[in-house]
Amino acid sequence: VIIQAGNLGHPVLGFVMQHDYSSFYAYEMNGRKQFGYPPFSRLIQVTFRHKQKETVEKAAKAFAGLVHPFLDNALIGPAEPVVNRIRGQYLMEITIKCPREMKRIENIKQQLMDAVALFHQEKKYKGTVVIIDVDPA
């Protein structure tokens, strides 16, 4: 196996070289717990698409401002994804870390849907596509 790496001192490479799956698992789960990532939380990804880069950037920032009051520290972004343009449309993303309680997730999803409806009432953002993905792959 050939592995290309930018940081040869990264702990994961040590686990790989030692074939130490259990230590890798413990290391990864500790980091996920510390920073609140699955399986200790759930993620909701909100993706914005528009044919003009400036419009999608403004739209994502406006939406983030709209939902920030009820999401507070759970909001990550907006940011450009690694692949920031698909089929002639620019992309921006917001990630939301949610607690695992089903009631809270349903509440957040409803608030997001309400925010999308309110957001699309703004004439300048009507052409912006908003996609909400719970537990993105």
Given a cut of 80, whether residue 45 has pLDDT beyond it is: yes
**pLDDT more than 70, % of the chain:** 100
CA angle 37, 89, 110 (to 5 degrees): 45
pLDDT at 76: 92
CA dist., res. 92 & res. 80, Å (int): 5
Whole-angstrom distance, CA of residue 64 vs CA of residue 115: 10
Burial class (CB within 10 angstroms; exposed 0-12, middle 13-18, buried 19+) of 88? exposed
pLDDT of residue 71: 81
Q: Comparing C-alpha atoms, which of 131, 115, 120, 122 is closest to residue 66?
A: 115
pLDDT tens sequence across 66-123? 998 888 778 999 999 999 999 999 999 999 999 888 888 888 888 899 999 999 898 9
C-alpha–C-alpha distance, residues 34 and 97, integer Å:
13
Peptide bond connecting 78 to the previous residue in cis, omega within 30 degrees of 0: yes
Query: How much is the pLDDT for 72?
Result: 72
